[in-house]
Structure 1
Amino acid sequence: MSASVGRGLLIAAAAVIIAAIAMAVVKMGGPGAQRQMRLDERRVQDLSRIDQELRSYFDAHKALPPDLARLAAQPGLSLAISDPDTTAPYAYQPGQDGHFRLCARFATDTAQGPTQMRDPTPWLGTQWRHPAGDHCYELDASAAKP
């Protein structure tokens, strides 16, 4: 009888482990979803860094550069200005008085916050949330960083 009880416990434990793994995969997404989330994290990091450098450029020159290539060409600056997956350049549109747009194509939706998916950039706050697809951020290099 103890052999059958031990066998039953082993089967029950295996079932619980399999169920836990299945639930984790459903909640977090499979490897493809995780890859897309990591790529979007990188896109947000790139855009945040571009934003910082545009603010510095504006402070120094009292104007925005005409394009991201000019920004990235500054001596001593290493700046990613294109998508890490597609290598398409990020969209940048300078405007008046320090206002500008930065755009990218995202694979995941963080616009709803951590309830939709885990928030990939909690250290950046809600400013960098985005829907899936093309999204532009309206930014201002003349304003203090939030």
Structure 2
Amino acid sequence: MKFSEFSPEQWYDLLPYMDTCLIPVSGLTGEEPPHEATERIAGTGDWLQPLEAAFRGRSVTMPANHYVDVTNEDDIRRVSGLCERMRGLGFAFVVVVSGRADWAAVPEDADLLIKPEEAGAEPDPDKLRQAIMALWKREAGAK
């Protein structure tokens, strides 16, 4: 579900079931012309959509972070801080999703970074679902 689909009452009632936070990061730097910005945002949506469809009822997609330079370690630290704050809201799992392959590092406080392995790669919905389920299984096995 998207963050905008909850009323305050629903959120607190559903929180025990909504344990996974999806944070979209488009990776814009502010140097892209409009058509390139559109492509990058759509690319992130391509990687996000299979997860939203598969895990509706267990995941919450938070607002997209567009202007984050994924090749800049300071920006990645800011994403990590955001992940930490999402965990403070009650999410057990925080997953960063991006259409950009060129991340400098995985955000430290993210449980998982979903992204293409190389530029131009298309998402494999089955592989994406398996990555999230593997994350849940690891946590269940650790308890």
Q: Shared fold by TM > 0.5?
A: no
TM-score (norm 2): 0.27
TM-score (norm 1): 0.26
Higher relative contact order (CA 8 A, sep 6+): 2
Bigger helix fraction: 1
